[in-house]
Chains A and B, each alone.
Chain A
Amino acid sequence: MPDFGEVLRLDDLHVSVHHGAAAAVRGVSLQVRPGEIVGLVGESGSGKTLTCRATLGVLPPGCAVESGSVSFGGVDVTSLSRRGWERLHGSQMGAVFQDPASYLNPVIAVGPQLTEVVRVKLGLGRRAAHRRAHELFEAVGLRQPERVFHQIPAELSGGMLQRVMIAIAISCDPQLLVADEPTTALDVTIQAEVLELLRRLRDERGLAVLFVSHDLAVITQLCDRIAVFYAGEIVESGPVEQITQRPRHPYTQALLRVASVGDFRRRELEVIAGQPPQVGEDITGCRFAARCPVAMPECKAGPVRSVPVGERHEARCVLAARAMVAS
């Protein structure tokens, strides 16, 4: 049912890699509401980055959306033309990535790189664009906006560059910010500042954020809702408190056991036995079954559906489904 309270809706999204040879994202469904921070978490190769690239319409060469839909503001954008995407980018959705330096022109000061965006997208004049840049640089917590305006990327630290990228991404007041591992390359003290900034932007501007990270600890600190990816599927999704306090999928439980714990005490470091399946590997039944400590014969019998296990909380697990039927 279309709910107009959603900024972004993915329905049964399938993405293939290697020119259609392998399925890397297998039926991902996801909703992001205004002012909501949704985190995608999973191991490398789990499909979280491809999902967010498909959302942005910037899949790498050889990758394609095979089926399913990406709806943005109630409109299906899956088959949008290049021009159509260009209209969306910046003004409707902004994006930041892991390595900000590689998305900026190294020989042009960062200020003009921002004013170019608002002049083209919003049609602002030179003076107005400069004022806007100043405001945005202040909004993202850059201490000396006028000075930063005239500096080239090499003169700025990683944390400052990421702030500049965020300023550019939100320069045209988009509804959605897609952030793919934006803090992975930063020092922990700077990472904490950038996470605070994203939260503040959400609170002040009602910005919806789709945040991708391999670090569950970062995701649980920032996000309202979490989607856990495993081998191309979302195995569990729900509000952050539900996921951390009452995880229902054995993989989520395992991820929580191996994640960084905040009490800094010496403890036995746990591991998840086994390896994830290869990208594109076809498996009958649950894709986590081979590594699952509580797997049963029926887990491998046929496809496992995602079932509701609570308020906006779903898990793709035979046991979770059985527990819901029993209660």
Chain B
Amino acid sequence: MLARKGHIPTLLLFAEALILILTAWYTFFTLDDNLGSYANSFRIATSSVEEDYQYVLHIAPLIVGRAIELRGEGDFEASFNASLLKVAGEVDDISSLRGDFFGKIRNKEYIIKRDGSDYVFVMQKVSVYSGTSGVNAMTRTFGISIRFNEKTIIAEGL
């Protein structure tokens, strides 16, 4: 009788081990095997944000350069700002950027700093974001700084 009672914890141990193993198996077998598509959506979101980030870094100096080229006569800063607004508006009509770079130019959310005979275009907290929504949404925020004079771009950076 006592010997039989002694088996109960051992049998319970065995049963628990079996339950643990079966649970682990169940988890494995019922795991969604569509992991590739999830990875793909992450890859697309990451790639899209990186692409738009690079796009802003590339197009910002091109726009500033064209604005310098097409500016009118008179006060440089005033004519540059007017030209920048026009050029950015034209590019914005075509661009597929998902971000607020063009909006910030439209709303004049940038500063032009004078530095000797040069100027520095500074835009802070520019955002680009992925097209996906919910848990996979990604946003990248960064700053732009472009040094230029009245004729050309001198340097660009973050």
Question: Do A and B share a complex?
Answer: no
Q: List residues of chain B with CB under 8 Å of any chain A CB.
A: none
Q: List residues of chain A with CB under 8 Å of any chain B CB.
A: none
